[in-house]
Amino acid sequence: MVKNFFNNKKITMVFTMVFLFLLVVIVLTIYSSNKDKNIVDKMSPEEIKSVVDAGNFLSGDLRKIDDSDIVLGKKNAKVKVIVYEDLSSYYSAQFDETLGMIRKDLGDQVAIAFRPYADKMFAGSILINMWSQCANEQGKFFEARDLLLEEVKKDSLSEDSLNSYGQQIGLNIDSVNKCLQEEKYLPKLERIKDEAEKFDVYGVPTVFVDNEMIVGARSFNDIVNNNGEKLEGMKNIIYRHLN
């Protein structure tokens, strides 16, 4: 009986090793067929396995941070984080706390780019995100973003209060209203959403650390989920890329 136990344990270990090997091979095969092959070519099997083990994905099509992006930090930072967010969404507001911890812990080692993912399916999403883009014209994007997400957290965000929000952060209200009436940034929002879906972004927040895609409001520190599985936090994901 003891012999059978060790034999079964040995068989289980062999199957586990074979499964992990096949998993790495499958990921390599899929992503090496991507039009940006350099991503996987530059990664060791161990690095790819760490991405898979974290429950994340790799994207070869992702548009890099460029001059069209609103960026916090230095664009030449070692690690680039791209955040697709909806400023009317509770989950984006929840993830903003994680972003704050990233900035506090890692500072200028990380550049964070913010891309609006506005969805007509959700009431207020288009208007709220257009308003933040209009605020950006006056150099007030981050003030607008902070205010909107705080209102979301308090469950008090209102389209009817946009003028009041603008006054609180010192916007020229007439200019903002003209910007909204002309729907000046609607084409941009639509373009970014269409582009994002080519990168397999279908909800918010979706985050890219370099080319590693993390779906959902991932916590800063590692956690154990409801299934008892360890989920890697943003801190350790970014440290992997820094190292």
pLDDT tens track for 68-89: 999 999 999 999 999 999 999 9
At 98, which helix (H) or strand (E)? helix 90-106
Banded model confidence at residue 226, pLDDT cuts 50, 70, 90: confident
pLDDT at 9: 46
pLDDT at 123: 85
What's the whole-number mean pLDDT along residues 152-177?
Answer: 98
Residue 86 buriedness (CB in 10 A; 0-12 / 13-18 / 19+): buried
pTM: 0.78
Instruction: Check whether 37 has a pLDDT greater than 50.
Output: no
pLDDT at 227: 84
pLDDT at 47: 53
What's the whole-number mean pLDDT along residues 34-45?
Answer: 44
pLDDT at 2: 38
What's the whole-number mean pLDDT along residues 52-69?
Answer: 76
Q: Which of 8-17, 62-71, 159-168 has the lowest mean pLDDT?
A: 8-17
What's the whole-number mean pLDDT along residues 27-43?
Answer: 43
Cβ pair 96, 234 in contact under 8 A: no
Question: What is the rounded CA–CA span in Å between residue 137 and residue 52?
Answer: 40
